[in-house]
Amino acid sequence: MHIRLTTLAAALITCTTSTWAATADVDINGNMLTSLPTHDVFSQAGAVDLDTPPTPTLAEYQETFVSGNTVAISNAGYNASAAATLGSNHAYATYNGAVPRDFVIGGANWFDQVAITGGTGAGTATVTVQINGSASVGAYGGLFAYQLGTQSTHPYTPGTSIADAIFLLPSPYQDPFSISSVAEHTIEFLPYSNAAPTLSCGGIPPANPGASCSNAPLYDQTLGTGNHTIDLTLTGTINFTYGEAFYLIGGISTVTGGSLASFSVFGDPVPPPDGTGATTLDFSNSANLVNIALPKGATASFASGNAYNVTTVPEPGEWLMLLAGLGLVGWRARRRA
């Protein structure tokens, strides 16, 4: 199993415990100060320096737990922003090197508790996610990651240990590695005209104890210098048990910065970039959960009351009847002609 730079763990740098920042919802140790919400959003934008590894220093940081609010950091050398609503994630990051920073990050996350009724035993639902964005890759590399997944435990509740990983930015998500992925996509942006996919973990330690790196690409997609348009439709399957509540979680991250100029963080040194200028990752209009298709007769109840686009899928036998009916209509039309 290779390591992805997922939406809830923007970049894994070294083996240590996670650092936190106190917020209205979370104390300095990452403990919720109020009762755990059944649904929430969390957006953040930050700039990180690795002045004293392995502890990153937050040069700038903004966060919000308010749906639809945009957080942003901005100056002459970089910009980052993020916003989230239930079902939608938006993130942006750009870096030109004028003000040195190792990483510039925009990330947005949301979750909602859901229970599906109308049947017994196990069931499956299909989700569709639309991702739209653009990238202009210059002298600096970048990372994009999106993940939609499910989790049985509360996202803010400690689960298995994550002592092997460190988050570049503070996060209330205490065990993102327990998320069961439903739909995901990762892109590495390399500052080379002939970019080759990163094939091994190199200098990145395993995220889980005992995990090993494979020779499979770390990312779903690799893009080099120049301008790129990203237009993706992701589909995935949710496995659920009727009547048992679970959490649906969506997140997105965009990362660029000086430490991604040569990707030396991933292992062996590589030649200097042949790209020039700033690198910009603009996923401000992405990603959106556009459909949840349930089995016929099933009903989804969301704790938030949010009106997701929920539809039902006919049973296989009904599809056959529908196709047969369409065929009969076509045959009668031909007879009349």
Q: What is the 3-state secondary structure (H, E, C) of 46-75?
A: EEEEEEECCEEEEEEEEEECCCCCCEEEEC
* 237 inside domain: yes
* 26 inside domain: no
**What local confidence, expressed as pLDDT, does residue 264 receive?**
43
Give the pLDDT mean for 204-228: 68
Q: How far apart are CA 103 and CA 259, in angstroms?
A: 6
Q: pTM, whole model, 2 decimals?
A: 0.81
* Burial label, 155 (beta-carbon count in 10 A; 0-12, 13-18, 19+): buried
**What local confidence, expressed as pLDDT, does residue 271 receive?**
75
* 16 inside domain: no
Paired sense of beta strands 288-295 and 310-313, if any: parallel
pLDDT for 26 beyond 90? no
Q: Average model confidence (pLDDT) for the chain?
A: 80
Q: Which residue has the higher pLDDT, 229 or 209?
A: 229
Domain count of the fold of the chain: 1
**What local confidence, expressed as pLDDT, does residue 44 receive?**
96
- Provide the token pair at 233: 């439709």
pLDDT for 9 beyond 60? no
Q: Residue 327: give the domain boundaries.
A: 39-336
* 142 inside domain: yes
* 1 inside domain: no
* 32 inside domain: no
| Confidence class for position 208, pLDDT limits 50, 70, 90 | very low
Say if CB 251 and CB 106 are below 8 A apart.
Answer: no
Give the pLDDT mean for 162-166: 52
% of the chain surpassing 70 pLDDT: 70
Give the pLDDT mean for 58-63: 93
pLDDT for 104 beyond 70? yes
